[in-house]
Structure 1
Amino acid sequence: MDNFTIVRPEHLNHHGYLFGGVMLKWVDENAWLAASRDYPGCNLVTIGMAACRFKHRVKNGSILRFNMHKNNQGRTSVTYDVKVYADAPGALSEEEVFSTAITFVRLGADGEPCKLPQPA
Protein backbone atom coordinates (compact mmCIF):
# COMPACT_ATOMS: atom_id res chain seq x y z
CA MET A 1 0.00 0.00 0.00
CA ASP A 2 1.29 3.48 -0.87
CA ASN A 3 0.36 6.83 0.67
CA PHE A 4 1.67 10.27 -0.26
CA THR A 5 2.36 13.63 1.40
CA ILE A 6 4.21 16.83 0.57
CA VAL A 7 6.98 18.42 2.64
CA ARG A 8 6.10 22.00 3.64
CA PRO A 9 8.08 24.73 5.42
CA GLU A 10 6.53 23.88 8.80
CA HIS A 11 8.07 20.37 8.55
CA LEU A 12 11.66 21.62 8.22
CA ASN A 13 14.45 21.68 10.80
CA HIS A 14 16.87 24.58 11.41
CA HIS A 15 19.02 23.37 8.48
CA GLY A 16 16.10 23.68 6.05
CA TYR A 17 15.43 19.96 5.55
CA LEU A 18 12.70 17.62 6.78
CA PHE A 19 12.86 17.19 10.55
CA GLY A 20 13.43 13.52 11.47
CA GLY A 21 10.70 13.57 14.11
CA VAL A 22 8.14 14.57 11.49
CA MET A 23 9.26 11.65 9.33
CA LEU A 24 8.84 9.24 12.27
CA LYS A 25 5.33 10.59 12.97
CA TRP A 26 4.34 10.15 9.34
CA VAL A 27 5.78 6.63 9.19
CA ASP A 28 3.88 5.60 12.32
CA GLU A 29 0.65 7.15 11.03
CA ASN A 30 0.87 5.69 7.51
CA ALA A 31 1.82 2.21 8.70
CA TRP A 32 -1.05 2.31 11.22
CA LEU A 33 -3.44 3.25 8.40
CA ALA A 34 -2.25 0.25 6.36
CA ALA A 35 -2.62 -2.08 9.36
CA SER A 36 -6.07 -0.71 10.17
CA ARG A 37 -7.21 -1.43 6.64
CA ASP A 38 -5.79 -4.96 6.85
CA TYR A 39 -7.42 -5.55 10.27
CA PRO A 40 -10.67 -3.55 10.31
CA GLY A 41 -12.28 -3.15 13.71
CA CYS A 42 -9.09 -4.07 15.58
CA ASN A 43 -7.57 -1.75 18.18
CA LEU A 44 -3.93 -1.59 17.04
CA VAL A 45 -1.15 0.27 18.84
CA THR A 46 2.51 0.75 17.95
CA ILE A 47 4.89 -1.31 20.09
CA GLY A 48 8.15 -0.68 18.27
CA MET A 49 10.19 0.37 15.28
CA ALA A 50 13.28 -1.51 14.14
CA ALA A 51 16.45 0.28 13.10
CA CYS A 52 15.37 3.52 11.45
CA ARG A 53 17.55 4.45 8.49
CA PHE A 54 17.58 8.07 7.35
CA LYS A 55 19.36 7.67 4.00
CA HIS A 56 19.12 11.15 2.43
CA ARG A 57 17.98 14.58 3.52
CA VAL A 58 14.62 15.69 2.20
CA LYS A 59 14.02 19.12 0.63
CA ASN A 60 11.03 21.38 1.07
CA GLY A 61 8.45 20.69 -1.64
CA SER A 62 9.39 17.03 -2.00
CA ILE A 63 6.55 14.59 -2.55
CA LEU A 64 6.99 11.60 -0.25
CA ARG A 65 5.70 8.13 -1.05
CA PHE A 66 5.23 5.80 1.92
CA ASN A 67 5.31 2.14 0.92
CA MET A 68 4.05 -0.32 3.54
CA HIS A 69 4.38 -4.07 3.11
CA LYS A 70 3.14 -6.60 5.68
CA ASN A 71 6.19 -8.62 6.68
CA ASN A 72 5.07 -10.91 9.50
CA GLN A 73 1.95 -11.70 11.49
CA GLY A 74 2.17 -13.30 14.89
CA ARG A 75 -0.63 -14.28 17.25
CA THR A 76 -1.28 -10.76 18.59
CA SER A 77 1.08 -8.57 16.56
CA VAL A 78 1.89 -7.66 12.98
CA THR A 79 5.00 -6.08 11.45
CA TYR A 80 5.19 -3.91 8.35
CA ASP A 81 8.29 -2.98 6.38
CA VAL A 82 8.15 0.71 5.53
CA LYS A 83 10.15 2.49 2.85
CA VAL A 84 9.83 6.18 2.10
CA TYR A 85 10.75 7.65 -1.26
CA ALA A 86 11.18 11.35 -2.09
CA ASP A 87 10.54 13.04 -5.40
CA ALA A 88 12.36 16.34 -4.85
CA PRO A 89 11.35 19.45 -6.81
CA GLY A 90 13.05 19.32 -10.20
CA ALA A 91 14.27 15.72 -9.73
CA LEU A 92 13.83 13.29 -12.60
CA SER A 93 13.18 10.32 -10.33
CA GLU A 94 12.48 9.50 -6.71
CA GLU A 95 15.02 8.10 -4.27
CA GLU A 96 14.64 6.04 -1.11
CA VAL A 97 15.17 8.35 1.85
CA PHE A 98 14.06 6.27 4.86
CA SER A 99 13.34 2.70 5.92
CA THR A 100 12.25 0.79 9.02
CA ALA A 101 10.01 -2.01 10.22
CA ILE A 102 7.15 -1.14 12.58
CA THR A 103 5.20 -3.53 14.79
CA PHE A 104 1.65 -3.15 16.05
CA VAL A 105 -0.17 -5.21 18.67
CA ARG A 106 -3.91 -5.71 18.92
CA LEU A 107 -5.39 -4.77 22.28
CA GLY A 108 -8.70 -6.01 23.65
CA ALA A 109 -11.21 -3.98 25.67
CA ASP A 110 -9.20 -4.82 28.82
CA GLY A 111 -6.05 -3.25 27.31
CA GLU A 112 -4.31 -6.61 27.02
CA PRO A 113 -2.96 -8.16 23.79
CA CYS A 114 -5.49 -10.34 22.01
CA LYS A 115 -5.47 -12.55 18.95
CA LEU A 116 -5.40 -11.00 15.48
CA PRO A 117 -7.79 -12.38 12.90
CA GLN A 118 -6.21 -14.49 10.19
CA PRO A 119 -5.90 -12.81 6.78
CA ALA A 120 -8.60 -13.63 4.24
Structure 2
Amino acid sequence: MRFHTRKWVKPEDLNPNGTLFGGKLLAWIDEELALYTIIQLENTRIVTKYMSEINFRSSARQGDIIEIGIDVIKFGITSLTLKCEARNMMTRETIITIDHTTMVNLDADGKPKAHGKSAIEYIKDRL
Protein backbone atom coordinates (compact mmCIF):
# COMPACT_ATOMS: atom_id res chain seq x y z
CA MET A 1 0.00 0.00 0.00
CA ARG A 2 1.26 3.46 -0.90
CA PHE A 3 0.89 6.07 1.83
CA HIS A 4 0.27 9.46 0.22
CA THR A 5 -0.83 11.92 2.85
CA ARG A 6 0.00 12.82 6.41
CA LYS A 7 -2.30 14.63 8.81
CA TRP A 8 -1.38 16.03 12.20
CA VAL A 9 -4.02 15.49 14.90
CA LYS A 10 -4.76 18.90 16.42
CA PRO A 11 -7.06 19.91 19.32
CA GLU A 12 -9.92 20.79 16.96
CA ASP A 13 -9.83 17.21 15.57
CA LEU A 14 -10.63 15.57 18.93
CA ASN A 15 -13.86 14.13 20.30
CA PRO A 16 -14.96 14.56 23.96
CA ASN A 17 -12.92 11.45 24.80
CA GLY A 18 -9.71 13.24 23.76
CA THR A 19 -9.12 10.99 20.74
CA LEU A 20 -9.40 11.68 17.03
CA PHE A 21 -13.04 12.18 15.98
CA GLY A 22 -13.95 9.40 13.53
CA GLY A 23 -15.90 11.78 11.29
CA LYS A 24 -12.83 13.98 10.89
CA LEU A 25 -10.71 10.98 9.89
CA LEU A 26 -13.36 9.86 7.39
CA ALA A 27 -13.44 13.36 5.88
CA TRP A 28 -9.64 13.27 5.47
CA ILE A 29 -9.87 9.82 3.85
CA ASP A 30 -12.71 10.80 1.50
CA GLU A 31 -10.78 13.87 0.39
CA GLU A 32 -7.60 11.85 -0.21
CA LEU A 33 -9.49 9.19 -2.19
CA ALA A 34 -11.09 11.92 -4.31
CA LEU A 35 -7.74 13.62 -4.98
CA TYR A 36 -6.12 10.31 -5.87
CA THR A 37 -8.98 9.50 -8.26
CA ILE A 38 -8.89 12.96 -9.85
CA ILE A 39 -5.20 12.53 -10.58
CA GLN A 40 -5.61 8.98 -11.91
CA LEU A 41 -8.64 9.69 -14.10
CA GLU A 42 -7.58 13.25 -15.04
CA ASN A 43 -11.02 14.65 -14.27
CA THR A 44 -12.07 16.92 -11.39
CA ARG A 45 -15.67 15.72 -11.54
CA ILE A 46 -15.51 12.76 -9.15
CA VAL A 47 -17.98 11.50 -6.54
CA THR A 48 -17.83 8.88 -3.82
CA LYS A 49 -20.48 6.27 -4.67
CA TYR A 50 -19.83 3.55 -2.12
CA MET A 51 -17.80 2.75 0.99
CA SER A 52 -17.74 -0.76 2.39
CA GLU A 53 -17.56 -1.58 6.07
CA ILE A 54 -15.39 0.88 7.95
CA ASN A 55 -13.27 -0.85 10.57
CA PHE A 56 -11.97 1.37 13.38
CA ARG A 57 -9.11 -0.65 14.89
CA SER A 58 -7.37 1.84 17.20
CA SER A 59 -7.49 5.51 18.14
CA ALA A 60 -5.21 8.49 17.73
CA ARG A 61 -4.47 11.32 20.13
CA GLN A 62 -3.48 14.96 19.83
CA GLY A 63 -0.02 15.29 18.33
CA ASP A 64 -0.12 11.97 16.47
CA ILE A 65 0.70 12.01 12.77
CA ILE A 66 -1.69 9.96 10.66
CA GLU A 67 -0.73 8.48 7.27
CA ILE A 68 -3.39 7.63 4.70
CA GLY A 69 -2.59 4.79 2.31
CA ILE A 70 -4.39 3.81 -0.87
CA ASP A 71 -4.31 0.81 -3.19
CA VAL A 72 -6.26 0.45 -6.43
CA ILE A 73 -8.41 -2.67 -6.47
CA LYS A 74 -10.12 -2.28 -9.83
CA PHE A 75 -10.63 0.03 -12.77
CA GLY A 76 -14.28 -0.04 -13.84
CA ILE A 77 -15.70 1.56 -16.97
CA THR A 78 -16.77 4.74 -15.17
CA SER A 79 -15.27 4.09 -11.74
CA LEU A 80 -12.20 3.36 -9.70
CA THR A 81 -12.38 1.04 -6.68
CA LEU A 82 -9.87 1.69 -3.93
CA LYS A 83 -8.72 0.16 -0.65
CA CYS A 84 -7.63 2.46 2.17
CA GLU A 85 -5.80 2.32 5.47
CA ALA A 86 -4.96 5.07 7.94
CA ARG A 87 -2.20 4.40 10.44
CA ASN A 88 -0.17 6.13 13.11
CA MET A 89 3.02 7.17 11.33
CA MET A 90 5.25 6.73 14.38
CA THR A 91 3.95 3.39 15.69
CA ARG A 92 2.65 1.99 12.35
CA GLU A 93 -0.48 0.91 14.24
CA THR A 94 -3.53 0.72 11.97
CA ILE A 95 -6.29 3.13 12.98
CA ILE A 96 -8.89 2.40 10.30
CA THR A 97 -9.35 0.20 7.23
CA ILE A 98 -11.86 0.51 4.40
CA ASP A 99 -11.75 -2.45 2.03
CA HIS A 100 -13.71 -0.96 -0.89
CA THR A 101 -14.53 2.59 -1.90
CA THR A 102 -15.96 3.24 -5.34
CA MET A 103 -15.27 6.62 -6.90
CA VAL A 104 -17.23 7.53 -10.06
CA ASN A 105 -16.03 9.66 -12.96
CA LEU A 106 -18.66 12.20 -14.11
CA ASP A 107 -19.27 14.27 -17.22
CA ALA A 108 -20.21 17.97 -17.24
CA ASP A 109 -23.88 17.06 -16.62
CA GLY A 110 -23.07 14.96 -13.55
CA LYS A 111 -23.67 11.63 -15.29
CA PRO A 112 -21.23 8.68 -15.07
CA LYS A 113 -18.68 8.89 -17.87
CA ALA A 114 -16.27 6.26 -19.20
CA HIS A 115 -12.70 7.20 -18.31
CA GLY A 116 -10.76 4.84 -20.59
CA LYS A 117 -8.14 3.96 -17.96
CA SER A 118 -7.07 0.42 -17.04
CA ALA A 119 -3.89 0.79 -14.97
CA ILE A 120 -2.30 3.11 -12.44
CA GLU A 121 -0.44 6.00 -14.02
CA TYR A 122 2.30 7.93 -12.26
CA ILE A 123 2.78 11.64 -12.85
CA LYS A 124 6.45 11.13 -13.75
CA ASP A 125 5.35 8.87 -16.63
CA ARG A 126 2.97 11.53 -18.00
CA LEU A 127 5.61 14.24 -18.20
Tell me the TM-score normalised to structure 2 length: 0.85
Q: Given that residues 55 and 97 in structure 1 are in contact (C-alpha distance below 8 angstroms), is that contact kept between their aligned partners in structure 2?
A: yes
- Per the TM alignment, residue 57 of structure 1 is displaced from its structure 2 partner at its CA by 1.2
Which residue type is aligned with residue 87 of structure 2? Y
- Per the TM alignment, residue 61 of structure 1 is displaced from its structure 2 partner at its CA by 0.7
Return the alpha-carbon distance in structure 1 between the equivalents of residues 43 and 58 of structure 2: 36
The partner residue of 1:45 within 44, 47, 64 is 47
- Per the TM alignment, residue 35 of structure 1 is displaced from its structure 2 partner at its CA by 1.0
CA RMSD of aligned residues (A): 1.4
Return the alpha-carbon distance in structure 2 between the equivalents of residues 104 and 63 of structure 1: 26
Unmatched 5+ stretches in structure 2: 122-127
Deviations 1:39-93 (A, max 9, x none): 1135111111110010001111110000011111111111110001113xxx6x3
**Alignment of 1:114 onto 2:113:** yes
Equivalent residue of 2:96, what SS? strand
Aligned residues: 116
Which residue type is aligned with residue 8 of structure 2? I
Return the alpha-carbon distance in structure 1 between the equivalents of residues 40 and 56 of structure 2: 27
Q: Given that residues 12 and 19 in structure 1 are in contact (C-alpha distance below 8 angstroms), is that contact kept between their aligned partners in structure 2?
A: yes
Deviations 1:78-109 (A, max 9, x none): 1110001113xxx6x32111010211111111
Q: Percent identity?
A: 28
Tell me the TM-score normalised to structure 1 length: 0.90
Return the alpha-carbon distance in structure 1 between the equivalents of residues 59 and 107 of structure 2: 39
Return the alpha-carbon distance in structure 1 between the equivalents of residues 40 and 108 of structure 2: 20
Q: Which residue of 1 aligns with 2:86?
A: 84
Q: Which residue of 2 aligns with 1:16?
A: 18
Q: Given that residues 28 and 102 in structure 1 are in contact (C-alpha distance below 8 angstroms), is that contact kept between their aligned partners in structure 2?
A: no
Q: Given that residues 48 and 102 in structure 1 are in contact (C-alpha distance below 8 angstroms), is that contact kept between their aligned partners in structure 2?
A: yes
Equivalent residue of 1:48, what SS? strand
- Per the TM alignment, residue 5 of structure 1 is displaced from its structure 2 partner at its CA by 0.8
